[in-house]
Structures are given as structure tokens and as C-alpha cells.
Amino acid sequence: MTASSRAPQSGGSFENERSPFARLAELLAPYQPGKPLITLSLGEPQHPVPSFVGPVLAQHIAEFGRYPIAKGIEPFRKAAANWLCRRFSLPRPIDPETEILVLNGSREGLFFAALTATRYVGERRGAPAILVPNPFYPVYGVGARTAGCETICLPTTLENGFLPDLDSLDEATLARTVAIYIASPANPQGAVASRDYFSRLKQLADRFGFVILSDECYSEIYTRDAPGSALECAGPDFANVVAFQSLSKRSNLPGMRVGFAAGDSKFLSMFHELRNVAAPQVPVPLQHVAVAAYGDETHVEENRRLYRIKFDLADQILGNRYGYRRPAGGFCVWLDVSRHGGDEAATVKLYSEAGVRVVPGSYLARPQPDGFNPGKGYIRLALVQDGETTAQALHRLVETLG
């Protein structure tokens, strides 16, 4: 049986949703870094904060004295809608009044979206399920579990281009699907879904009545072609498609916690009702910073330039070792260390001997029913440090693993 044909996994418990970083801390607890520590485990952007952030905050500081409205201020919704229309080839302009909703970062939106989807799609033919790529961002699994749905993991491997194999989905599974999480660019492998892939997924969503929850927070980090959006293939009403965006990666503002959801207005109306009583609201001054961020591409282009330099370094230093391939998007590197002791052993070795902190790929994934873990044997590196530090870390990695 090939890796791409392995059966999806369902079920599980909250224990399966433990943070990979908590597990990593436990793994490395008995050791000390062998050299001055370089952290490549956490995908937290380290590039400079845009210069306009401070002045905009200062201008709107008094608005910290107001409770924010859950849907977002009108200038924010217009700025997000205008940016989407400039950035992507949408079937029609997004309506900022009904098709944009501000989020306290994309993560909480992705979580609450699973709860909304169970109400939105209604009864399923069989036990309700939510599909997730495997490996996956942990909040997908927590959202599915909290929504009372089975989590069905779709292995994303080299054989299937590191995206879920849509041909492997049988009708019985699709008939009970509430939603599918799809990440493009993918975390951790950096794969980008094509327009044809999104179109096929949209056809399945319409046929079986489930929702596409498209995580596009890495869409602005790429070194070749600009990734597309699921919204481009969603039709004139954006039915059954919701895209999630964030300023964390695009604008180096992970601590600001501002993003948005866009798409199906009926879904977003129900989503807004839930978030209005249960979700964290986004402070108004931060929304004004986001207005400035979505109106400026200069800092985003500089951001891409800095990542491009680091991927050029990875090309030179890693070469074809560890199955390295320059990813189509995102800032992560996915390395096959199965011939170097496996992912946990390589992680410990890199930390204890080289002072380089990475994440075992198996911690980012779940075992499939046959025991196959599609992340096993890989390590993930997030190239978030400056170029000099990144080069030093990559050289240490090669020297240590061989």
C-alpha cells in the first residue's frame, strides 16, 4: 500500500490535540543545547514590525476605551474586502457588509468555524465528520472535537503533492462531512493548491453540502508564483466557502492578533451570531492598524524579499540533502531525516549537539488507522530568524546530521 492510499483516520480524543510544542518541551527537557540556542521550531515571524504601527496606535489610543463590535468596524471590513479584490481574481467584489468578519487572529476563527459548520450544514447521513489534512494545524482537530464531530485525517505525503487526495474520499464519508479544513500554502510542507484543485473541492462541497474552511494565512509568503484562494473558485455567491486570513505572517504582527474570515454570507451571519457571544473581540485601535496594513504592500514585498534570501541560503546549504525542496509557499522547511535516526532522535541530536531547536514531524500529525504517521521521519524548520542566524543554523544542521 502506498502512503497516498492509506485510509483516513477518525475519532481520537483531546489527548491527540496536545500542543506539539508541549511535547517538544518534554522531549528536550533532559538535555541542554550544545551551542548557543537557535530556535527554528516556532513559526513566529521575527522580521521588523512595520513602521506605521506605532503612529496608528497612538492616533487611535482613546478607542481602547470602547467595547469593539464583533463584526469589525466598517473601515476594517472595507480595507479587507478591497485587499481581497486587488490580490485575488474573485468572481465578483466581496461585500464588506455581509461577507467579511474580523477575527482575533485566524486561529480562533478556525476553531469557532467548526462549531458554526455543524449548525450550518444540518443533519448528515451518518456520524458527522470534519476532514483535516495530516499533518495539520492543531486547532483543526480541537475545533472538530469540540463540535462533536469525528476527525478524519487525510494523509498529505510526497506521493500526493502534500495535499489531501480528493480521489480517496468515498461517497459515504463525503455524505457525513460537515467541513473540510484545507491549508494553502500548507503547514508544514508549503504545498500550494491549484485553481483546479480548489474547483474540484468546491464541486464536492456543493454536491454533498459541506463547508470548505480554507486557511490562507501563509498566502503572502512565496518565492515564485503568488498562491491563489479558494474564493476564486467559489462562484458568484461564495456558497460553502470561507477563507481565513491573518496579519501575523503577512505583516509580521503575530502579537497583534488580527485577521478576518471572508466568503459565504449565510455562513458568516451564523458565525457572527456565535462569535458575538463567545469569541474574543478585536480592539478598535488594532483594527485601524490592520486598515493601514491592508492598504500597504511595500512592507509585504520587503517581507517576501527577506524570506527569499533565506530560501536561497537553504538551497545552497541543504542542496538535495534530506529530500529538501524549496516550498511553493510559507516559511517552513520539511526535511526527511528518516535515514538519520528518525524525527525524534534527529531533534534531540540537533538540540543537544548543535543548539538548533526544530519540531519532530510526527508531533504535527496523527497516526492513520494502520499506524502510519505521515509526519514520522520528518522535521520542520521555520525560517523566521534573520539571514545570518538562519545560515548558521543550517550549517550546524548539516554538520551534525551529515
pLDDT digits 0-9 by tens, 250-290: 999 999 999 999 999 999 999 999 999 999 999 999 999 99
Average pLDDT over residues 61-85: 97
Instruction: Compute the CA torsion angle 169, 337, 39, 247 (nearest 10 deg).
Output: -20
Domains of the chain with CATH codes? 6-48+299-401 (3.90.1150.10), 53-296 (3.40.640.10)
Q: Give the H/E segment covering residue 262.
A: strand 259-263
Mean per-residue pLDDT of the chain: 95
What's the rounded Cα separation, in Å, for the pair 152 and 344?
25
Grid coordinates in use for 15?
489527548
What's the rounded Cα separation, in Å, for the pair 279 and 255?
17
What's the rounded Cα separation, in Å, for the pair 41 and 383?
9
Contact 378, 361 (CB under 8 A): yes
Contact 393, 38 (CB under 8 A): yes
**Residue 275 contacts by C-beta under 8 Å, 6 or more apart in sequence?**
70, 101, 112
- Which tens digits make up the pLDDT trace of 133-168? 999 999 999 999 999 999 999 999 999 999 999 999
Question: 3-state class of 335 per DSSP?
Answer: strand
Least confident of 6-10, 14-18, 191-195: 6-10
Question: 3-state class of 276 per DSSP?
Answer: helix
Contact 359, 257 (CB under 8 A): no
Q: Give the H/E segment covering residue 246.
A: strand 241-246
Q: Is the pLDDT of residue 44 over 70?
A: yes
Contact 278, 103 (CB under 8 A): no
**What percent of the chain has a predicted confidence (pLDDT) above 90?**
95
Task: Give the CA diameter of the chain.
Answer: 62
Grid coordinates in use for 41?
521550531
Nearest to 290 by CA among 66, 44, 97, 104: 104
- Give ∠ CA 122-273-241 in degrees, rounded to 5: 55
**Residue 182 contacts by C-beta under 8 Å, 6 or more apart in sequence?**
133, 163, 164, 193, 201, 212, 213, 214, 215, 230
Grid coordinates in use for 218?
501563509
Grid coordinates in use for 130?
470534519
What's the rounded Cα separation, in Å, for the pair 148 and 143?
9
Contact 249, 220 (CB under 8 A): yes
Nearest to 381 by CA among 344, 356, 362, 401: 356
Position 18 confidence tier, pLDDT thresholds 50, 70, 90: confident
Q: How many helices (H) and strands (E) does the chain have?
A: 13, 12
- DSSP classification of residue 351: I
Which conformational region is residue 162 in: left (phi greater than 0), alpha (psi within -120 to 50 degrees), or beta?
left
Q: Is the pLDDT of residue 12 over 80?
A: no
**What percent of the chain has a predicted confidence (pLDDT) above 70?**
96
Grid coordinates in use for 250?
503577512
- Which tens digits make up the pLDDT trace of 212-257? 999 999 999 998 899 999 999 999 999 999 999 999 999 999 999 9
Grid coordinates in use for 246?
491573518
Average pLDDT over residues 128-132: 98
Q: Which is it for strands 332-336 and 211-215: parallel, antiparallel or unpaired?
A: unpaired
Grid coordinates in use for 98?
455581509
Average pLDDT over residues 374-394: 98
- Which tens digits make up the pLDDT trace of 284-316? 999 999 999 999 999 999 999 999 999 999 999
User: Locate cell 460553502: which residue?
Assistant: 240
